[in-house]
Amino acid sequence: MAVEILKEKYRSSVREVVLGATKEEGGTRAHTIKVGGETALPFLHFEGKIPNRPVVAMEVLDMAPEDWPPSVKSFFEDVYNDPAAWAKKCVDEYGADMIALRFKSADPDLKNASAEDCVATLKKVLEAVGVPLIIYGCGKTEKDNEIIGPLAEAGEGENLLLGVAEQENFKPVASAAMAYKHSVIAQSPIDINIAKQLNILISELSTPLLERIVIDPTIAALGYGIEYSYSIMERARFGALNGDRMLAMPMIGNVSQEVWSKKEAFLEEGEPTWGDQAERSLAWEAATSMALLQAGMDILVMRNPESVKIVKKQIDDLMQDNSY
């Protein structure tokens, strides 16, 4: 006697967002990347379609980082002072699907680099690699607002993923994305209602931008509230699959920023029971990433190449068809 397998049926899907642009599309990327498009919960291929695999973006800074531990510095020391070479190494040697370029040097408390300096760096990185790019400022709102317009203009046609638009400061990034035809990261502070409201605000500014939003729900590292982050992402995904257009966007997570700011990852001398720092930090980043994949993350921003290797293998396994 045949046994009927009960399956959930959803009435909608996650919106598919295309990142990057090829020569035929007005850019210079070797290929584009599609994220989103799911019609079921993560990796439940038997209940719907998971048309696009999650991707890994590796982090590149436009200046040598001073606070990275030796265990991760060792992978990039030969290219620290050359963001273009750094990006190329991430793609060619470590298999990065995308590059997340952070303009740390623009920070007024560091080098206070000008918009012109940032644009020059962006152009070099675009020439060095053919993968789509994610653009982040320095994290200081006033300065980021100064550089985002020139960066968006310099990358016109490339369909960059610009970050970040926040509820209290979404217009500069959204306007730059609208003017130069880029996509935009909508970042909210682990709050489903603010995430939805921010998407509404951006869409009111420009209806076409609704098709080019990627949600950053703000994630937490393993041991620092990842369960709450997971629950917010899960609610957003259920909302998307049940027809909420203002939550039906792919999601991106800044794993590197969260994990590597925690003492358990970067401290070389921790509690005796913590074990070797290099091994510990690798596991911390990989475990955080894999939990987020299960919650519906479409783009992971990562740092350690060994963690990237583990996570990409996990994605390969999860993308195997398990329908029956």
- Distance of alpha carbon 41 from alpha carbon 296, whole angstroms: 7
With a CB cutoff of 8 Å and minimum separation 6, the contacts of 114 are none
- Distance of alpha carbon 219 from alpha carbon 227, whole angstroms: 10
Q: Is the dihedral of CA 238, 241, 242, 247 positive or negative?
A: positive
Token pair of 129 as six digits: 């690699």
**126-182 pLDDT, tens per residue?**
999 999 999 999 999 999 999 999 999 999 999 999 999 999 999 999 999 999 999
Q: What percent helix, strand, coil does the chain show, rounded to 5? A: 45, 15, 40
Token pair of 7 as six digits: 């399956």
With a CB cutoff of 8 Å and minimum separation 6, the contacts of 154 are 119, 122, 123
**115-129 pLDDT, tens per residue?**
999 999 999 999 999
Task: Give the mean pLDDT of the chain.
Answer: 95
What 8-state DSSP symbol labels residue 251?
B
Q: Give which of 258, 202, 201, 256 is closest to 229, Cα–Cα.
A: 258
Q: Would the pLDDT of 305 be above 80?
A: yes
Whole-Å CA distances, 254 to 24, 141, 190, 209, 261 = 31, 18, 13, 22, 11
Chain length of the chain: 324
Between residues 312 and 267, the one the model is more confident about:
312
Query: Which domains does the chain carry?
Result: 17-318 (3.20.20.20)
Question: What confidence category does residue 65 fall into, taking pLDDT thresholds of 50, 70 and 90?
Answer: very high
- Distance of alpha carbon 99 from alpha carbon 84, whole angstroms: 10
Output the pLDDT for position 324. Answer: 66
Q: Give which of 135, 100, 4 is closest to 308, Cα–Cα.
A: 100
Output the pLDDT for position 1. Answer: 61
- Tokens 């920023």 belong to which residue? 257
Q: Work out the end-to-end distance of the chain between its first and last CA atoms, rounded to an integer number of angstroms.
A: 16
Question: What confidence category does residue 214 fall into, taking pLDDT thresholds of 50, 70 and 90?
Answer: very high
The backbone region for 3, taken as left when phi is positive above 0, alpha when psi lies in -120 to 50, beta otherwise, is beta
- Distance of alpha carbon 233 from alpha carbon 109, whole angstroms: 34
Q: Would the pLDDT of 283 be above 90?
A: yes
Angle at 259 between CA 151 and CA 292, to 5 degrees: 85
- Distance of alpha carbon 244 from alpha carbon 42, whole angstroms: 17
Q: Would the pLDDT of 269 be above 80?
A: no
Token pair of 172 as six digits: 């500069």
- Distance of alpha carbon 182 from alpha carbon 167, whole angstroms: 19
- Distance of alpha carbon 241 from alpha carbon 201, whole angstroms: 21
Question: What confidence category does residue 26 fall into, taking pLDDT thresholds of 50, 70 and 90?
Answer: very high
Dihedrals φ, ψ of 86, to 5°?
A: -60, -50
Report helix, strand or coil for 186.
Answer: strand
Q: Is the dihedral of CA 24, 97, 194, 231 positive or negative?
A: positive
Give the range among 215-219, 233-237, 266-270 with minimum mean pLDDT.
Answer: 266-270
Element of type H or E holding 85: helix 83-92
